[in-house]
Structure 1
Amino acid sequence: MNNDDVKRVDSGRRDMMRHLLGAAVLVGGGGTSYLVQAATTPTARRGGSIRAAYDSSSTADTLDPAKGSAGGDYIRAYMFYSGLTQLDSALAPTMNLAESIVSSDAKVWTITLRKGVTFHDGKSLTTADVIYSLLRHKDPKVASKIMTLAEQFTDAKAIGPNQIELTLANANADLPVLLADSHLVIVKDQTTDFSTAIGTGPYKLKTFQPGVLTAGIRNEQYFKPGLPHLDQVELVGIADGAARVNALLAGDVQLVNAVNPRSTKQVSSASGFAIMETKSGLYSDLIMRVDDPLTGNRDFVQGMKYLFDRTQIRDAVFGGYAVVGNDQPLPPMHRYYNAEVKPLPFDLDKAKFHFKNAGVLGKSTPPVFATTAANGSQEMAVFLQQAAARVGVQIPINRVPADGYWSNYWMRRPLSFGNINPRPSADVLFSQFFASKAPWNESGWNNPKFDQLLLAARAETDEAKRKQMYGDMQQIISTEGSIGIPAFVSFLDGYDKRIQGLKSIPTGPMMGFNFAEYVWWNA
């Protein structure tokens, strides 16, 4: 995406949100262009099966949308369930199960449901299903990954046969964007057993073996005419990057994510295969837990940030398929990006100064845990280790398997790496990973000023004021946060060219986790 593309996306989104608040309506008919056009081109074919391999899978894989914590979970959510809205390639919301979403103040919203939609078991979609699906995230017993986001849902009630009035604690102009999140797809009223994944999505569950295999067959009663195209989609977990590429080139799978930049030529030079790059806000971050005496020391954190040779990481680790990061989570192409927040330079003298203040010179830090599941983390760990040694600090590296990394090591050790997919809005990203009570507050930091700005920005409908607030929040994270983000990485998917209809959506790999609904097999 070049600068002109970014300007067009930002301008279009501002116009859309201005229309949303000024005319008090978001209409579905005009907002389906990208995905529907991608799916209904005359060359689309019906039938066939494909197998996709994803890099993150474990026994913690889930069919409960509320508990999804990895990309494979998000793919399953969109395969078997449907959300009220979807995001297009410009990250603008389009209507899905909702026919329209209306508000005059961005606080009280009227959601009108599409008629004639049925669940996989034949039950009709009702307002009760939507109300339950939204409010269940507020229940601590559910342990939803978006519980902090759902706290803004203060009330939801039916006001007609197919209409819900959703009241928020504060105004949120991005509600239609939020409702596209995979955690907020719609489930049946009162569902507590998700082993059968009864939803309204494009596929019905055939097989689910956590950490091994997910298979879905086409939902013949799907509410979108002509979709999906495929008879069956299988999703398998292959943690090792080289093994994924080998499986692709051998024909065992037809689509893989997280191709190592060093493997892109191997794929693109092979007959019948290609690479799709999606520029994004994906990042692998160094996490320094604040609850450890050393990694919670501000001088130690600052010293570690000065050890990042960000240009080297961009070029050597990610093969140029990245842009330099500045220790906060919004990428340069984001409409709220604060260009005044500059990345720290690679500076060994300053790193040594801060390490001396932290009392770690001549000593060893806790080990840093790295894994292939966190893109580029093992290579970055080596660069940090080598740089630290030059100033008299030893950083041991523990390389651990991808399988089980997120359950056993991520956020559980003083030093580890995360791997964070883009979120549909700044509010969602900040709420899930940086709010004090966020379930994925990776470093465990607590910043009251940040929390206050988060709530204020969510309610602010003046675009200029909102941008200023988000800019201030980026500055706080960059200078006071306990994570290091050296680069924003493009998604690299490898695919068999017989897969058609595959497009870039910057919320994630594999068409923003939505590939199953739209691609077809052209064999």
Structure 2
Amino acid sequence: MVGLDHEGKVKYVLAESIIADETGKSYVITLRKGVVAHDGQPFTADDVLFNFKRIVDGNLQGATTIGPIDFAATRVLDARRLQLVFQQPFSILVETLAGLPFYFMAARSWREDNVVGTGPFRFQDFQPGAQSTFVRNEHYWDEGKPHLDAVTVLNMSDEITQVNALLSGQVDAINYLSAQAVPQLQAAGMVLTISQTGGWAPITLPTNTAPFDDVRVRQAFRLLVDREQINDVVYGGYGTVANDVFAPYDPASTTFPQRERNLDEARSLLKSAGHDRLSLTMITNDVVPAQRSVAQLLAQQTKEAGVDISVQFENATTFFANSYLKTTNMAQDYWYYVPYLANAAGATVPGAPFNATFFNDAEYGRLYESAVTTSDAGRQAEYVHQMQQIDYDRGGNVIPVFYPIIDATSSQVGGLAKDVSGWPLGNWNFKELWVER
């Protein structure tokens, strides 16, 4: 329905317009003309309603971030218009729909064994652990796109395999590369697209467990981190030094004084909290590149202040099965860019479904409720500022760097743009790509 452009601004996709009434509780969503699903059937307001019910009734990822929908009052007005009604004002519907849980708008004929959507490519084949194939959607609403006849996504176990596949001509594009891969690919004449992004991979401090239930310890950790070194050593200087507050491209975001490493102040805070020395475990993973490298460098940095961190690696399968949203140890998370309030709904408000720090701040929660129920943009921006001040002062996420996205393609590939989303290949924007053979 809604997406983000390459600069992080909200844009309509399947929706032509989304207009709220004066109460902020009721929206009319109007679909653009000519949207057809993969099975050739018109995609209508009934399909949009089906998706909201599918997500909420199925308690899927977006169920707790969308706001309380009043399905009894919600109704289809005609083939292109849905009146979506909430139980209370919900002013961030458009931003929320730009998030990942709402990317896939399924047709009512969708089943697990019959994947029918509206995107530029339709599903053809899936080989677990090997590859997925998608073919051009001849019914796609955006005239002239996609340019490609098909896209095959290969699963590759490591970066060396990716690089060799590109250099040998086995593949046309590779993604999620480390800075260390750049010189070899440049020397071989490959095309590098390096995006500065709003994607963030925080060090998560479990605020419900000692020692991180003491705000002084959380504040100390913010001062232990050498952010510039992490950016230079791990990300090759391609990232953007961050300040423990997410959503840098949100118009309401606040700029705070940049934190600098201060070991003396960090030691003082730890001592006042009763922790002259600390021995901790940090769980790292390979969900995205550089996670393990960040953890290892952090362990070196904190040792200078008497904090010993044992880094424990888990592959993605083990991490999500055993540790994510469960561990009482330090860990790492991964977020792409979305506007602040939509991101907070998933990550940091009390009861958020992906609150990896277990942050449960009543004031923060009240500010969020005030922000999403007001239609006054100025007041909402002030609530966001106050929430971000809490993130900055006492939140559980340490965000050293907004990570870069490094993609590489052969010289035959065109159409790839830099993108701030934190997703590779222009926010998976395959519909814009072409290949000259």
TM-score (norm 2): 0.90
Aligned to 1:427: 341
Deviates more, 1:170-179 or 1:302-311: 170-179
The one of 368, 382, 389 equivalent to 2:303 is 389
Contact kept? 1:493, 1:509, Cα under 8 Å: no
Aligned to 2:384: 470
Which aligned pairs between 1:346-361 and structure 2 lie closer than 5 A? 346-361=261-276
Which aligned pairs between 1:289-308 and structure 2 lie closer than 5 A? 289-308=206-225
- Alpha-carbon distance in 1 for matches of 2:219, 2:16: 49
Aligned to 2:146: 228
- Secondary structure of the 2:27 match is strand
Contact kept? 1:239, 1:402, Cα under 8 Å: no
The aligned length equals: 432
Call closer, same or farther: CA 1:382–1:510 in 2, change over 3 Å: closer
Contact kept? 1:434, 1:441, Cα under 8 Å: yes
How far the C-alpha of 1:390 sits from its partner, in A, is 2.5
- Secondary structure of the 1:421 match is coil
The one of 399, 423, 434 equivalent to 2:313 is 399
| Backbone CA RMSD of aligned residues | 2.4
Aligned to 1:208: 126
- Alpha-carbon distance in 1 for matches of 2:2, 2:393: 35
Aligned to 1:459: 373
- Alpha-carbon distance in 2 for matches of 1:307, 1:148: 34
How far the C-alpha of 1:353 sits from its partner, in A, is 2.5
Which aligned pairs between 1:149-164 and structure 2 lie closer than 5 A? 149-155=65-71, 156-164=74-82
- Alpha-carbon distance in 1 for matches of 2:217, 2:386: 23
Call closer, same or farther: CA 1:416–1:257 in 2, change over 3 Å: same
Aligned to 2:63: 147
How far the C-alpha of 1:115 sits from its partner, in A, is 4.1
- Secondary structure of the 2:232 match is helix
Contact kept? 2:121, 2:134, Cα under 8 Å: yes
- Secondary structure of the 2:219 match is helix
- Alpha-carbon distance in 1 for matches of 2:118, 2:100: 13
Call closer, same or farther: CA 1:468–1:511 in 2, change over 3 Å: farther
Call closer, same or farther: CA 1:484–1:250 in 2, change over 3 Å: same
Aligned to 1:440: 354
The one of 46, 49, 54 equivalent to 1:128 is 46
- Structure 2 counterpart of 1:310, which letter? R
Aligned to 2:5: 88
The one of 189, 193, 217 equivalent to 2:108 is 189
- Alpha-carbon distance in 1 for matches of 2:434, 2:54: 35
Call closer, same or farther: CA 1:484–1:109 in 2, change over 3 Å: same
Call closer, same or farther: CA 1:174–1:295 in 2, change over 3 Å: closer
- Alpha-carbon distance in 1 for matches of 2:55, 2:307: 44
Q: Deviations over 1:209-260 (max 9, x none)?
A: 3443221111222233222121110122335233323322222222222211
Contact kept? 1:241, 1:372, Cα under 8 Å: no
How far the C-alpha of 1:453 sits from its partner, in A, is 1.4
The one of 204, 227, 241 equivalent to 1:287 is 204
Contact kept? 1:289, 1:411, Cα under 8 Å: no
Aligned to 2:235: 318
How far the C-alpha of 1:362 sits from its partner, in A, is 4.1
Contact kept? 2:67, 2:90, Cα under 8 Å: no
- Alpha-carbon distance in 1 for matches of 2:170, 2:49: 42
Structure 1: runs of 5 or more not aligned = 1-83
Call closer, same or farther: CA 1:180–1:482 in 2, change over 3 Å: closer
Aligned to 2:192: 275
TM-score (norm 1): 0.76
Call closer, same or farther: CA 1:492–1:171 in 2, change over 3 Å: farther
How far the C-alpha of 1:281 sits from its partner, in A, is 0.9
| Percentage of pairs with the same residue | 25
Aligned to 1:46: none
Contact kept? 1:196, 1:205, Cα under 8 Å: no
